[in-house]
Amino acid sequence: MTEDPADRTAGDAAAGPADAVTCAGLVHTFGETRAVDGLELSVRPGEVFGLLGPNGAGKTTAIRCITTLLPVPAGTVRVFGRDAAQERMAVRRLLGYVPQQLSADAALTGRENVTLFARVFDVPRRERAARVAQALAAVDLTEAADRLANTYSGGMVRRLELAQALVSAPRLLILDEPTIGLDPIARTGVWDHINAVRAATGMTVLVTTHYMDEADQYCDRVGLMHRGRIRALGTPAELRQGLGERRRAEGTGGDALPTLEDVFRAVAGSGLDESSGDFRDVRSTRRTAHRVG
Ligand SMILES: Nc1ncnc2c1ncn2[C@@H]1O[C@H](COP(=O)(O)OP(=O)(O)OP(=O)(O)O)[C@@H](O)[C@H]1O
């Protein structure tokens, strides 16, 4: 990990149209704020890719460009080779998206919520009931399917949102902070269900998270994002070992293997504290508390 991260990500982004997601030179600004600033990103088919970073790094903005919910003012975004700016509907049909904000209706049952998504995503009418039941079963909500969502726990709401995203059988599942605000058992439950569906279908997963331990455990590769760009990329083990080797060479590290958070701090340097950011995400935790309340 001693090479310039920008070179490395640029090289990977050039990997080709077979990628599940390719962002090349993606820029998105809000007024003076360059939320995404020349993002180079390549997600390979079938992998779980974690986009990590502190508040304001640009993760949600990048994801919203990939899902076509925000325009792509500069650069290109492709999903399985389809251009997000030119072929929005084709891209939307390929993906399932679980946003940070609540996407389930508390006044409907679990089954009604998932059925609504099945209709929106044009699941054929005669397959709909079976596909809804299958999606609910995949996240272990069969028994609770006919209860109102406002009786669900936070973990169940998250699993319901997962079922909503899965009912269209997407090739790419995008999750924005899927486990924020959940207790450790509920977090594990959400990941177990994501992994089970992925193993059964081979779908690609792109996830943002503040939880470095989760990224370490569940992501095949991670991109550490800071100020609108990927600053380091690799498997969690590669990133940790790379920093460990650098520290040993410099004589600055002890024997302990660095954590992913250590890697991030090494990559982002002093700019991390100055820009807001820590990984303990107060704002997002509050947002989630509102979501399920
Ligand atoms: N709709 C908006 N209007 C103005 N500025 C915005 C808007 N959305 C995001 N920003 C700004 O763009 C930058 C990137 O925000 P973004 O939400 O993409 O970051 P993030 O990495 O997802 O952070 P968080 O973890 O807090 O969600 C921040 O400075 C944010 O304040």
Give the pLDDT confidence of 125-173 residue by residue, as tens digits.
899 999 999 999 988 899 999 999 999 988 899 899 999 999 988 999 9
CA–CA gap between residue 85 and residue 41 (Å, rounded):
16
Spatial neighbors of 270 by CB under 8 A, at least 6 apart, are none
What's the pLDDT score for residue 271?
54
Cα 201 to middle of ligand 1, angstroms:
32
Instruction: Tally Cβ neighbours within 10 Å of residue 51.
Output: 27
Radius of gyration of the chain (CA): 19
* Ligand 1 atom nearest residue 31's Cα: 4
CA–CA gap between residue 59 and residue 77 (Å, rounded):
14
What's the pLDDT score for residue 256?
76
Instruction: Tally Cβ neighbours within 10 Å of residue 147.
Output: 14
User: Which residue's C-alpha comes closest to atom 16 of ligand 1?
Assistant: 58
Q: Are 102 and 291 in contact (CB under 8 A)?
A: yes
Span 215-240, pLDDT tens digits: 999 999 999 998 899 988 999 999 99
Assess whether pLDDT exceeds 90 at residue 293: no
Assess whether pLDDT exceeds 90 at residue 205: yes
Cα 265 to middle of ligand 1, angstroms:
20
The residues facing 225 across adjacent strands are 230
- Ligand 1 site, residue 227, Cβ cutoff 6 A: no
User: Which residue's C-alpha comes closest to atom 17 of ligand 1?
Assistant: 60
User: Which residue's C-alpha comes closest to atom 25 of ligand 1?
Assistant: 55
Token pair 């998932």 is found at 114
- What does the DSSP 8-state code read for residue 21? E
Task: Quote the mean pLDDT of the chain.
Answer: 83
- Ligand 1 site, residue 60, Cβ cutoff 6 A: yes
Assess whether pLDDT exceeds 80 at residue 28: yes
- Ligand 1 site, residue 33, Cβ cutoff 6 A: yes
The angle that helices 125-138 and 184-201 make with each other, rounded to 10 degrees, is 130
Cα 148 to middle of ligand 1, angstroms:
32
Assess whether pLDDT exceeds 60 at residue 3: no
CA–CA gap between residue 271 and residue 275 (Å, rounded):
6
245-271: average pLDDT: 78
Assess whether pLDDT exceeds 80 at residue 73: yes
Assess whether pLDDT exceeds 50 at residue 9: no
Percent of the chain with pLDDT over 70: 85
- Ligand 1 site, residue 59, Cβ cutoff 6 A: yes
Among residues 202, 223, 196, 179, the alpha carbon closest in space to that of 22 is found at: 223
Q: Where are the domains of the chain?
A: 5-292
* Ligand 1 atom nearest residue 228's Cα: 14
Token pair 């177990």 is found at 192
What's the pLDDT score for residue 123?
86
Spatial neighbors of 29 by CB under 8 A, at least 6 apart, are 35, 73
- Ligand 1 site, residue 286, Cβ cutoff 6 A: no
Banded pLDDT at 253 (limits 50, 70, 90) = low
Under DSSP, is residue 22 helix (H, G, I), strand (E, B) or coil?
A: strand
CA–CA gap between residue 26 and residue 36 (Å, rounded):
7
- Ligand 1 site, residue 284, Cβ cutoff 6 A: yes
Banded pLDDT at 284 (limits 50, 70, 90) = very low
Could you confirm whether domain 5-292 is CATH 1.10.10.10?
no
* Ligand 1 atom nearest residue 60's Cα: 22
Best probe residue, ligand 1, of 26, 28, 32, 33 (max atoms within 8 Å of C-beta): 33
82-101: average pLDDT: 90
Span 186-200, pLDDT tens digits: 888 889 889 988 888
What's the pLDDT score for residue 8?
36
Cα 10 to middle of ligand 1, angstroms:
23
Q: Can you point out the beta strands (E) in the chain?
A: 21-30, 33-43, 48-52, 74-79, 82-83, 95-98, 172-176, 204-209, 221-226, 229-234
User: Which residue's C-alpha comes closest to atom 7 of ligand 1?
Assistant: 30
Q: In what order do the strands lie in the sheet with 204-209?
A: 95-98, 172-176, 204-209, 48-52, 221-226, 229-234
Q: Whole-prediction pTM value?
A: 0.84
CA–CA gap between residue 21 and residue 79 (Å, rounded):
5
Relative to beta strand 95-98, strand 82-83 is unpaired
Cα 76 to middle of ligand 1, angstroms:
20
